Chains A and B, each alone.
Chain A
Amino acid sequence: MYAYPIWLLLFFILPLTLLGILKFRALAKYKLVLAVVVIGCLGVAVPWDLLSVRDRIWYFTQPHIVGVWLLGLPLEEYVYIVFLGLLSSSVTVLLWERYGARQ
């Protein structure tokens, strides 16, 4: 029951929260970049997801999701898009701080 939100909590929300706490200073410098990337992720991934659900590439059933749907997608999909985007972007920012070629 509620496998999708539990999976998100364990593998995206908690690790990203931990990363945010441990690397707060480094990530805070790039909060505008992270925000823009997340908005961009939503802009690309939501239409992609809507098409995929419409074409039934993948589908969702209760009780594996909470059951709250927004604009044709379960709430968990928005959380997945935002947190996958944030996680990927945060890892990139941290690697950029260490290995980035600024010139």
Chain B
Amino acid sequence: MFGPSTYFVYVLAFSLIPISLFWFVDFRFLRRNARVIGLAALAIFAYLCVTDPLAEAWHTWFFSSDRLLGWWMINFPVEEGLFFLLVPIAVATATLSFIHLLHTAR
């Protein structure tokens, strides 16, 4: 749909929209716990940077070069690296928001 920027646009849209929504709703709590989000995202980012190159090498999936920006890190596209960073931030943000919601409800 977006030519070589397709994967890049999808990564930004599908991760930044949920992240923004959670931060908009629960900004104060999330800001106080930004360290937890940062540490969790960093841990998962590092883990995916180690395991994903094996997935690429084993041909678990294939990328179409005409849907990518064309910059590669190790053996995966730079958009995949962005995925490794933004998706854990989104999941960590959602996890903390739901913890806060449950604590508040109790």
Contact = CB atoms under 8 A, between A and B. Distances in A.
Contact of A52 (B10, B47, B60): B10
Nearest to B67: A57
Interface string B35-56: 1110110011001000100110
Contacts of A95: 36, 39-40, 43
Interface range on chain A (Cβ under 8 Å from partner): 35 or more
Given A3-B59, A7-B55, A64-B60, A41 B33 contact: no
B94 interface: yes
A34 B94 CA distance: 10
B88 A58 contact: no
A65 B96 CA distance: 34
B72 interface: no
Contacts of A37: 91, 94-95, 98
A48 B14 contact: yes
A99 B33 CA distance: 8
Interface of B: 1, 6-7, 10, 14, 18, 32-33, 35-37, 39-40, 43-44, 47, 51, 54-55, 58-64, 67-68, 87-88, 90-92, 94-96, 98-99, 102-103
Given A33-B98, A64-B59, 12 more contacts: A7-B54, A32-B102, A37-B95, A44-B90, A55-B6, A65-B60, A84-B91, A85-B91, A99-B35, A99-B36, A100-B96, A102-B103
